Amino acid sequence: MSDYICNACGQHNKEGTTICSSCGKPLDHEQSTKLLNMRYDGTAIRSKTRNRSIVDKVWNFFSSIKVGVTLIAIALIASAIGTIYPQEMYIPATVEPLEHYRDQYGISGQIYYQLGFHELYSSWWYMLIIGMIGISIFIVSLDRGIPLYKALKYQKVKRHQKFLTRQKLFREYENVSNQDKKTFVQNLKKRRYRIREDNGHILAEKGRFSRWGPYVNHTGLIIFLIGTLLRFLPFMHVDDMLWVREGETAVIPHTNQEYYLENNNFTVEFYGESEEDAKYEESLENVNQPIPKHFQTDAVIYRDTSMVTGADPELKKVKKGKIVLNEPMSINGLTLYQNSYQLNEFQSMSFNLHKKDDQSEESIGSFTVDLTEPKKRYTFDNGFEILLDEYFPEYEIVDGEPESVSNYPRNPGFVFLVYPPDSEEPEVSFLSIGRNIDPTNENQYKLSLADFEVRNVTGLSVKKDYTLPIVGLGAIIFMIGVVQGMYWHHRRIWIHPDDNRLLVAAHTNKNWFGLRKEFEKSIDHTNFSMIVDQEEEKEDNQ
Amino acid sequence: MIDVATLSNTLLYSAFIIYLIGTVFFAATIKDKQKRENVGFVHKLAIFTTVIGLLAHVGYFVTRWIASGNAPVGNLFEFVTFFGMMLVFAFLILFSIYRIYLLGLFTLPIALLLIAYASMFQTEISPLLPSLQSHWLYIHVTTVGLGQAILAISFIAGLIYLIREIDQTIPTKKTKWLEVIMYTIFATVGFVVITSGFEAANYNATFTYEENGEELSLDYHLPAIFGPQDAELVTENRMDAWLDTPTWIQGAEAPRKLNTLVWSLIIGFALYVLVRLIVRKRIAAVIQPLLKKANSELIDEVCYRAVAIGFPVFTLGGLIFASIWAQQAWDRYWGWDPKEVWALITFFFYAIFLHLRLSRGWHGEKSAWLAVIGFGIIMFNLIVVNLVLAGLHSYA
Ligand code: HEM
């Protein structure tokens, strides 16, 4: 402990202190002329002084810059590995991932998949590294930030001579007058230095706040990381889709059935359709497929004002506008994004019933099936009756059986039962696009597709993310901190009178060039000569 | 409209020529017998020329914007020329602080190379996909470009430091790596030479090949060293491919890109060997004596300072504005697409750079090497990720 009692002023310093916190005398007891390490102004850093308990060890591990840098380097390499092949979310959803990686990228693709690199960024170990970086930032900030804060807050104007002589920028002046000193200080004041004086000793300081930059930016990073962690809680965000066909109104999810959206019109434009696209002509010739220019949903938002649950909704228009990619619409805290679309979805199909052997297909009865809400039974004045026995909105043969792979009428398939007048036994017909099957081959009547109507469907994603403000706040604080620490510098100049000499030393946490230039300008019109860089001098003497 | 577009091209061409003249002036500043502190006429001329060149370059940018109606940062040609413009601008920022003329001598040739490189890609005005039609795109891309350009100045300072400081009397690992850096510059020149040479000759060779039962074709504008797998040459009087592109190289245009890369490397190598045969020294050793007057401590500070200034700008543009845009366009602020990930990698890398600088041992030569690697990452993101690791941002 005695090592930390200053023999110049008697101050009891904390173990690990290298520069007396009261008078500034270096405590290394060497008769050394080595330049002082001014990091944290020589205060005791917890991680540098204690290493006994397990807590100390963990603390020291996370507050080591070496460890911090290593963690960031690991995160960097891992992130790079994740870009060698596409992540799983970017491969087609319809294929088996293992097969995809193997077929597309061969054996290395298979290994990539088997190591789990196809979803690297959500893997436990990637998150663990990021988490450890977060912990490290937190601990290091306490470890160094608090001592630094105290050291700068309680720093005294008068410093021990040794403190000055062992600064990088230092010079002794013998023939400068009081007037020179005054002008010098005045010049520093003009350059926005805060001047403190104690018995002829002077401390000129500016930009101290920039020293908090790293701590501010690290705080921002921690807030940011907390925000991203919170996203893993399901109730922190809404992530849904809303498909609305043209002309239809649908309830917007997550609004307690309160808000509805009507799709008035959905349009897609492609480049080359209008005259103003002439300037792209050359470029368009080089690509073979149409390039989309614009997607837009003309939407009307309604609010249900009926108040009573279960009652018929009473819709009142509250908002009207377009939803375009890059221009989402907000309603009741939710945001609606133009996400996808389905063009030319079938809206209705009309069929014609005629005798099978009738070449002219003269109509016995015709009817239209509304594909959104298909009616089950179609009757005709002439006694015919047709039942829609089965309806497959998006028909496909799966394992030999007809099946619908979705509820959207993209490829409708129908099984119709045709009851001729006075007949109990129906004829079975199967129809889909390009297909008209008579399973028994004994049908007397045939159904033919006469007409159809299509419409577009807009796919809107419905989002709400409570973590956004947190993440955004973290990002803003981070930026403030980086700018604060990088674009401003903490500069100090000490003037120490000693008999008829003046000792002058200067220190900055970065940008020595700027400090030297500023010093040079501040000694204008005085007898002060330029301060000396002791480091450079040493090198020159070698 | 056509007029504005032509004017735009002319301005870019003028900028190129003016930078070339500027380079000559900067070279003359070295030869200037005056002392370091004195600024001669030729010094002023060099900076003046640079500013004029930059104005022409900005003129190109503005007129192209007018002609296309969109900020011209949409495809690889546009972005790389924009990056060149920002590089010159970033040089002027750091020059205004440090007054180091040597930086200009190295910056202008790199800007020249960038413009030449960019012009090898499709230069016509191309339409913007709906997701790219956002003001945030412009804000994002321009800020990223500026940030990357400022960071690139740290590479230039690092390079000057290395050429000046590394002992060239004996061959070491360091001299070898430094030559590798020099060689990449030759390879870029090689790319420009070979591409423009065969373009002037209107070379075209079409290959057809089959993929998944489909008949596909690919046009080559350079003689094919690597052709598509099992391809057939259908153009007459053209060299047939010597080798098949390995199967693990994926993508429809991959064989052609590989072919171009191999050609650039070969021509670059030939140029490099030729120059070395003439000068009979390592390239860096030839440049070294020219840098004697440089103050290496100051160069080291510029190397760090450029990162200190560029890092916040890059973070703002490359991560924060990018996220805001992604949130609007794709309803998620981060999607782990390769371009985004490489922006994050750049961010991580310079964070490492800054933290290492906190300890004394990493000043000088070590941080100069780091600055070189950092620039490598930026270029990788700009070029390789666009051309190879396809993602949402892939322009070309
Ligand atoms: C990706 C994550 C990180 C970022 C973006 C970041 C950013 C920064 C920046 C910009 C600075 C200022 C540097 C300068 O002024 O030159 C800084 C300082 C610092 N960082 Fe980090 N940091 C990160 C992670 C860490 C970690 C994991 C540690 C743990 C050891 C750490 C420890 C420090 C320390 C000790 C300082 C110096 C503080 C001072 O000068 O008072 N940082 N950081």
In the DSSP assignment, the letter for residue B142 is: H
For the residues B188-193, what does the mean pLDDT come to? 87
The CATH architecture annotation of domain A160-207+489-541 reads: 2-Layer Sandwich (3.30)
In this predicted structure, what is the pLDDT of residue B304? 94
Structural domain boundaries of chain B?
4-121+129-168+282-387, 182-281
The position carrying tokens 């999607």 is B335
Indicate the residue of A68, A478, A512 with minimum beta-carbon distance to B355: A68
Indicate the residue of B247, B308, B344 with minimum beta-carbon distance to A486: B308
Q: What confidence tens digit (pLDDT) does each residue in B12-57 have?
A: 999 999 999 999 999 888 876 555 556 778 888 999 999 999 999 9
In this predicted structure, what is the pLDDT of residue A246? 84
- Tell whether the model's pLDDT for residue A122 goes beyond 60: yes
Q: What confidence tens digit (pLDDT) does each residue in A415-468 have?
A: 999 998 878 888 898 988 888 888 888 888 888 888 888 888 888 888 888 889
User: What's the whole-number average pLDDT of chain B?
Assistant: 86
Q: Please choose, from the candidates A318, A328, A274, A319, the residue with its C-alpha nearest in 3D space to the C-alpha of residue A296.
A: A328
C-alpha separations of B229 from A402, B87, B150, B211 in Å: 40, 40, 42, 9
- Tell whether the model's pLDDT for residue A108 goes beyond 60: yes
Task: Look at A83 and B1 and tell me if their CB atoms are within 8 Å.
Answer: no
Three-class SS state of B391: coil
For the residues A304-317, what does the mean pLDDT come to? 77
Task: Look at A79 and B341 and tell me if their CB atoms are within 8 Å.
Answer: yes
Rounded Cα gap, residues A437 and A429, in angstroms: 6
| B159 compared with B202, residue with greater pLDDT | B159
For the residues A280-284, what does the mean pLDDT come to? 71
Contact list in B for residue A327 (CB cut-off 8 A) is 328
Q: Please choose, from the candidates B27, B18, B29, B40, the residue with its C-alpha nearest in 3D space to the C-alpha of residue B88.
A: B18
Indicate the residue of B127, B328, B351 with minimum beta-carbon distance to A280: B127
The position carrying tokens 């506008």 is A321
B23 CB contacts (<8 Å, ≥6 apart)? B105, B108, B109, B112
B208 CB contacts (<8 Å, ≥6 apart)? B215, B216, B217, B218, B231, B232, B234
In this predicted structure, what is the pLDDT of residue B37? 55
- Tell whether the model's pLDDT for residue B379 goes beyond 80: yes
pLDDT tier for residue A31 given thresholds of 50, 70 and 90? low
C-alpha separations of A129 from A69, A70, A75 in Å: 12, 10, 6
Q: What confidence tens digit (pLDDT) does each residue in A204-250 have?
A: 999 999 999 999 999 999 999 999 988 888 888 888 888 888 888 88
Structural domain boundaries of chain A?
1-32, 44-152, 160-207+489-541, 237-344+459-467, 350-451
B219 CB contacts (<8 Å, ≥6 apart)? B204, B205, B206, B256
Three-class SS state of B71: coil
Give me Rg for the CA atoms of chain B. Answer: 22
Task: Look at B320 and A486 and tell me if their CB atoms are within 8 Å.
Answer: no
C-alpha separations of A257 from A262, A310, A332 in Å: 14, 10, 12
The position carrying tokens 């030393």 is A505
For the residues A295-317, what does the mean pLDDT come to? 81
User: What's the whole-number average pLDDT of chain A?
Assistant: 86
What residue in B sits closest to A40 (Cα-Cα)? B358
Q: Is A8 exposed, middle or buried (0-12, 13-18, 19+ CB in 10 A)?
A: middle
In this predicted structure, what is the pLDDT of residue A29? 67
Q: What confidence tens digit (pLDDT) does each residue in B205-228 have?
A: 888 887 777 777 788 888 888 888
Give me Rg for the CA atoms of chain A. Answer: 39
Three-class SS state of A371: coil
DSSP string of A80-106, one letter each residue:
HHTTTS--GGGS-TTS-HHHHHHHHHH
Ligand 1 geometric centre to CA of B355 (Å): 6
Residue B38 β-bridge partners: none
In this predicted structure, what is the pLDDT of residue A232? 84
- Tell whether the model's pLDDT for residue B322 goes beyond 70: yes
- Tell whether the model's pLDDT for residue A398 goes beyond 80: no
- Closest CA to ligand 1's atom 29: A68
For the residues A98-108, what does the mean pLDDT come to? 83
Atom number in ligand 1 closest to CA A63: 30
For the residues B365-379, what does the mean pLDDT come to? 94
Cβ pair A438, A431 in contact under 8 A: no
Cβ pair B374, B308 in contact under 8 A: no
| A307 compared with A264, residue with greater pLDDT | A264
- Closest CA to ligand 1's atom 31: A137
Q: What confidence tens digit (pLDDT) does each residue in A32-86 have?
A: 678 888 888 878 888 777 777 888 888 889 988 899 999 999 999 999 999 888 8
In this predicted structure, what is the pLDDT of residue B48? 94
In this predicted structure, what is the pLDDT of residue B136? 85
A130 lines ligand 1 (CB under 6 A): no
C-alpha separations of A349 from A342, A439, A448, B28, B46 in Å: 18, 22, 10, 81, 75
Three-class SS state of A132: helix
A450 lines ligand 1 (CB under 6 A): no
Cβ pair A236, A500 in contact under 8 A: no
For the residues B96-113, what does the mean pLDDT come to? 92
Cβ pair A220, A228 in contact under 8 A: no
Q: What confidence tens digit (pLDDT) does each residue in A495-540 have?
A: 998 888 899 999 999 889 999 999 999 998 888 889 988 887 766 6
Neighbours of B257 (CB within 10 A): 16
Long-range CB pairs of A438-441 (<8 Å, 24+ gap) are A438/A356
Rounded Cα gap, residues B379 and B389, in angstroms: 14
pLDDT tier for residue B329 given thresholds of 50, 70 and 90? confident
Ligand 1 geometric centre to CA of B358 (Å): 9
pLDDT tier for residue A2 given thresholds of 50, 70 and 90? low
